[in-house]
Amino acid sequence: MVQDYSDGVFESAWRSLAHSRFLPFTLLALGTVSSVVYAHSPQVAFAALSGVTLSRRWAIAIPLLIWWVNQIIGFGWRGYPLTATAFTWGALMGIGTLLVAVFASWRPRFSQTGWTGHFLWMAIALLGGFVLYQGLIALAYPLLADGHRMGWDVISKLLLKQLVWGGAIALGHTVLLGRSFADQQRMNPSV
């Protein structure tokens, strides 16, 4: 059974990890690698989990840096065409990334007091972020895709990629947060 804590130890452990330099730079490094591996990196996973796991400043900066790296790799290394349509797609992806990061960084109170709420907010942020991001893309798609449709088969593959990356990031964060939590409890043994 997962126990929640109202005494501030969980929040203190989260803050310690969220404000460290290790976690944001690790996410940035992973996001850069994902941009090399995939033409379209799992922006939603990085934006949503950055929002849940990092301070608001880092939660917005890291996903936008990952998006920027993805655009540089796309236009520079992958040779995306230098057209208004390609730049519009890139801008929409950036706007979607920003919206997801801001949404996820909201961190409602229930997500700040213990493991259960934290895991619940991770899931809500990832799934809600996907709907937000893909909703923005779906609105623009008919105008920018020459009438082609984005079917459920494509959307389900995109969702699966976001869930896999989001799950991996959440697992890594859980391990690090567990260590931080143990450190906080050692520093305050009366809890």
The domain segmentation of the chain, as residue ranges, is 9-187
Q: What's the mean pLDDT when you consider all of the chain?
A: 90
**pLDDT per residue over 76-91, tens digit each?**
999 999 998 889 989 9
Separation CA 133–CA 131 (nearest Å): 6
Is residue 59 within 8 Å of 98, Cβ to Cβ?
Answer: no
At 133-152, the pLDDT tens digits run 999 988 887 777 665 567 78
Helix extents (H) in the chain:
9-18, 22-37, 43-53, 56-72, 84-104, 115-144, 152-187
Residue pLDDT, tens place only, 35-79: 999 888 999 999 999 999 999 999 999 999 999 999 999 999 999
Residue whose structure tokens are 């919206």: 99
Position 129 scores a pLDDT of: 98
**What is the amino acid identity at position 108?**
P
